Amino acid sequence: MIDGYKELTPVIYGENAIKYLYTEQKKAEGEICFLLHWHDRMELTYVTEGTLRFVTEGEEFLVSAGELAVAGPGQMHGGFAVSEKVCYHTVMFDVERFYNGTAASEKYLRSLGNGELTFVEKIAGKEVSGLLERLVGLLAGRDNGKDSKSSLAAIGTLYEILGCLIEYGRSKSSAKVSPDSGFGQILTYVNHHYTEKLSPAALSAQFGYHEAYFCRRFRELTGITFSEYVRALRMEYAQKLLKESEDEVGTVAWKCGYPDGSYFTREFRKMYGFTPSQFRRMTR
């Protein structure tokens, strides 16, 4: 696994050992909802409105309302907007916290926790969606630290969900090969130097890859082309500068890697539907 993409921010769990987040985003098509990353915990992304393009270890698929994407422990994953508005629930937990000493736990959960099972397809169906909605209701509707009934019910529902998910798991030996560590260095480099002048030709030569392989492998891993990836990073940085600094638009463009301010404005408007100046006024 590429260590540069490991999420290091600690997760603070309540008494039920489940972390829950709700996200509502207005994004342009192709814009990043969450960057490629991985962690030791398991993560369930349940879409309630719009569509996400979910990317995981060389595969990508669309996840629409009522469907679930699963990222197992140690599995690289990222999300990109397909619709103008995307809403989704995220449920996170450490699998090993739910080992309970039973034979079923040893047989199924331990293989999931140590990475022998992976999930690489979206999951749809009334049974799974109904369980996710029940779990979300328990996690969002109560203070889990003060309501033992709600906390225990959430734990029980999570076990039911895991029972369903095991049916969609597949052994690691049948999964696609994870990205090589050498190419991971390229991704790390791009994430730190995206405001500089970058090109597939220069990077493939710098890291010893054929340019055609570089372009193909980059899209396999990230789900988008090299230019789309760099543009998305630059535009996110541009939003941050426009909201948090007093820099003129031309200065923001230069800091984001665009020496031509007019070109930057056109690219920004193409992605978001309004100019940088309009965006700054709207956010303030």
Tens-level pLDDT at each residue, the chain (284 residues): 445 567 767 788 888 999 999 999 888 777 888 887 888 899 999 999 999 989 876 678 899 999 999 988 888 888 988 888 999 999 999 999 999 888 888 888 888 887 777 765 678 888 889 999 999 999 987 544 456 678 899 999 999 999 888 877 665 544 444 445 567 788 888 988 999 999 999 999 898 888 888 888 888 777 778 998 898 889 889 988 999 999 999 999 999 999 999 999 999 988 788 899 998 988 77
* Strand spans (E) along the chain: 19-26, 32-37, 42-49, 51-56, 59-64, 67-71, 77-81, 85-93, 117-118, 123-124, 170-171
pLDDT in the model for residue 22 = 94
Of 149, 154, 123, which is closest to residue 138 (Cα–Cα)?
A: 154
Q: What is the Cα–Cα distance from 154 to 48, expressed in whole angstroms?
A: 19
Question: What global pTM score does this model have?
Answer: 0.66
pLDDT at 194: 93
**CATH class, range 3-174:** mainly beta
Show Cβ contacts of residue 75 under 8 Å, excluding neighbours closer than 6 positions: 38, 56, 57, 118, 119
Q: Residue ranges per domain, the chain?
A: 3-174, 181-283
Residue 3: predicted pLDDT: 52
Could you tell me if 125 and 189 are in contact, meaning their C-beta atoms sit under 8 angstroms apart? no
**pLDDT for 145:** 46
Tell me which of 3.30.870.10, 2.40.33.20, 1.10.10.60, 3.40.50.720 is the CATH number of domain 181-283. 1.10.10.60
- Asked whether the domain spanning 181-283 has the same topology as the one spanning 3-174, the reply is no
